[in-house]
Amino acid sequence: MTYLEWLKQASLSLNESESPKRDAEILLGFVTNKTRTFLMAFCETELTQQELDLLDTYLKRRQEGEPIAYITGMKEFWSLKFQVSPSTLIPRPDTEKLVEIALEYLPKVPCEVLDLGTGTGAITIAMATERQDCLFTAVEKSEQALHLAQNNAKHNGVNNAYFLLGNWYKSLKGRKFSMIVSNPPYIDENDIHLSQGDVRFEPRSALVADDQGLADIKLIVEGATKHLNQYGWLLIEHGWQQGEDVRTIFKQNNFQLVETHTDYSGNDRVTVGRWFKP
């Protein structure tokens, strides 16, 4: 069977996927270790039996709904490559919006930035590659995820970030920062989307929060008042229907210039506020 024949067959079998053709291309590229351009240019290349057996295994996993990123162990974010595992969320394009906004608000002078619940390290590492003059601290409560983030930093050549094991602010001992960023759990435990798509395979602890998904956001905003320098910025990613609630939480904690930014689909996604101690 040729590359082209397998791609056609696999695409048809992935009819429940949002992107069956792209999924098939990623799996074929992963097994053959060839680029997408190579696969298209040499589409008549015959697959070996070993390659076909591997493709069959991976295709079945994808048909059962397992995310492509978990099958390949890799995900691209901010034009960087990240190792992923079932111990972490899969970095998503919407979170690139958080990085983009954070870089806009980041002071032009060297400063310190805190990333809470770093997971794969995607936010910290993406920002650190853009602002090598700044020092980044990333906190993660999962030891397995923390090791993954450290490896991702190393593989992406980042040496201006370090990683701490801890739950939110507990390991920081009164340290203060010019900016705090976070993509915390924000999904309500009764949300029907938890039983659909990729999130079925992702760690529930990184997705779900009490109080209709707002519990961790409240903890982060309240704690930020003790860990931000005067006029420092707090940026939090949240659900598309949570913008108003999150803005209220910011204002209740004396944040100024509170604003919610939309993602690339036009949905509320990132709320930002500036800390001002009365």
How many Å apart are CA 88 and CA 118, to the nearest integer?
9
Please check if 107 is assigned to a binding site.
no
Is residue 97 situated within a structural domain?
yes
pLDDT digits (tens, 9 = 90+) for 237-271: 998 999 999 999 999 999 999 999 999 889 999 99
Buried b (16+ CB within 10 A) or exposed e, 139-165: bbbbeebbebbbebbeebebebbebee
pLDDT digits (tens, 9 = 90+) for 115-155: 999 999 999 999 999 999 999 999 999 999 999 999 999 99
pLDDT at residue 229 tops 90: yes
Please check if 48 is assigned to a binding site.
no
Domain co-membership, 204 together with 116 = yes
Range of the structural domain that residue 40 is part of = 3-65
Domain co-membership, 105 together with 53 = no
The predicted structure's pLDDT at residue 193? 66
The predicted structure's pLDDT at residue 268? 93
Domain co-membership, 157 together with 263 = yes
Domain total in the chain: 2
Task: Label the pairing between strands 177-182 and 268-275.
Answer: unpaired
Q: What is the largest CA-CA distance in the chain?
A: 70
Residue 195 burial (C-beta neighbours within 10 Å; 0-12, 13-18, 19+): exposed
Domain co-membership, 137 together with 262 = yes
Query: Distance between the two ends of the chain, CA-based, in angstroms?
Result: 70
Please check if 203 is assigned to a binding site.
no
Give CA separation, 119 vs 36, 115, 163, 253, in Å. Answer: 28, 10, 11, 26
Please check if 186 is assigned to a binding site.
yes
Domain co-membership, 41 together with 89 = no
Three-class SS state of 7: helix
Give me the chain's average pLDDT, please: 91
Please check if 3 is assigned to a binding site.
no
Domain co-membership, 54 together with 101 = no
pLDDT digits (tens, 9 = 90+) for 204-227: 767 777 778 899 999 999 999 999
Domain co-membership, 22 together with 130 = no
Summarize the confidence of residues 14-18 as an average pLDDT.
Answer: 83
CATH code: domain of residue 8: 1.10.8.10
Percent of the chain with pLDDT over 70: 95
Please check if 118 is assigned to a binding site.
yes
Domain co-membership, 52 together with 100 = no
pLDDT at residue 59 tops 80: yes
pLDDT at residue 8 tops 70: yes
The set of residues, in sequence order, having a beta carbon less than 8 Å from that of 86 and lying 6+ positions away, is 70, 201, 202, 203
pLDDT at residue 83 tops 70: yes
Please check if 184 is assigned to a binding site.
yes
> Is the alpha carbon torsion for 251, 253, 256, 260 positive or negative?
negative
The predicted structure's pLDDT at residue 265? 87
Please check if 185 is assigned to a binding site.
yes
Is residue 215 situated within a structural domain?
yes
CB 224 within 8 A of CB 180: yes
Domain co-membership, 148 together with 230 = yes
Is residue 71 situated within a structural domain?
no
pLDDT at residue 19 tops 90: no
Domain co-membership, 138 together with 47 = no
pLDDT at residue 173 tops 90: no
Domain boundary among 11, 33, 65: 65
